[in-house]
Amino acid sequence: MLYIIGLGLGDERDITLKGLDAVKKCEKVYIEAYTSLLSFGLSTDGLSTLEKLYGKPIILADREMVEEKVDNILSEARGSDVAFLVVGDPFGATTHTDLVVRAKTMRVDVNVVHNASVMNAIGICGLQLYRYGETVSIPFFTEIWRPDSFYEKIERNRNLGLHTLCLLDIRVKEPTLESLCRGRKQYEPPRFMTINTAIDQLLEVEQKHGKSAYDEDTNCVGFARLGSEDQMIVAGTMRQLRTVNFGEPLHCLVIVGKTHPVEDEMLEFYKITTENPEQKGNGIP
């Protein structure tokens, strides 16, 4: 059996009892490493903390292993119980549908254990989940690559009065272009997009297209380390949020659509004020 287990968003204690039971009976435990340990505060002992709780070693599965060598993991799951751990929910922001398809193709049984993900945890700010449109990803711009396909989706959501969740780029173990040309991989330092950078890029794209999908006065909500004890939630205009120091990763941003009075009432708890320009929301206000 292959167990694909969501770990939640906060720390090692957010695993469900069902997930923990599954991990403890598995002969091998893998953890998706290109996003996994990030949600545990980028802690240097994040992996050992998990190993202490589970009482067994954990194997890091980086992007290359998951994308190119996953058949080895699936072959092991044919004859024994194997766990594949994912921060958040297995089918949340980082989907693992391909892993399930390949497992079923190889006749490997799959058991999915769900958990909280960014897709539902953003509800803490008060914006109702059923009033969201299509989620978009904001990639890091480079000097020669400035993709903006997300703009049309945001524009469509805004025209419908819907909120937009923007997932911000995470670059972990990305090979440099120079090393790829040489045929010997060397990796860039890890990078995590901030809300400030995302807003700068969003406004640049708006200036390019000029369709008034949003502007500096558009209301947004910024989230940092969502689900953790030191999470930070701040509501304000793009102009206001781009000046806020949200601290350590991970960050995400919601562009607010048309709001219901109840949503407005909740957002007030998180809004920037003159007295408190970096208001934090640690849990339900």
Q: How far apart are CA 158 and CA 165, in angstroms?
A: 12
Q: Confirm whether residue 251 is marked as ligand binding.
A: yes
Q: Confirm whether residue 127 is marked as ligand binding.
A: no
Q: Tokens representing 103?
A: 């497992």
Identity of residue 118 = V
Q: Confirm whether residue 118 is marked as ligand binding.
A: yes
Q: What is the three-class DSSP state of 270? A: helix
Give the residue ranges of DSSP H helices in 55-187. Answer: 63-68, 70-79, 97-105, 118-121, 150-159, 177-182
For residue 111, how many other CB atoms are within 10 A of its CB? 13
Q: How far apart are CA 234 and CA 279, in angstroms?
A: 6
Give the residue ranges of DSSP H helices in 32-96. Answer: 46-54, 63-68, 70-79
Q: Confirm whether residue 74 is marked as ligand binding.
A: no
Paired residues of 137 in beta bridges: 167
Helix (H) or strand (E) holding 19: helix 17-25
Q: Confirm whether residue 89 is marked as ligand binding.
A: yes
Q: Confirm whether residue 11 is marked as ligand binding.
A: no
Binding residues for S-adenosyl-L-methionine: 9, 89, 92, 117-118, 168, 226, 251
Which residues make up each annotated binding site?
A: 9, 89, 92, 117-118, 168, 226, 251
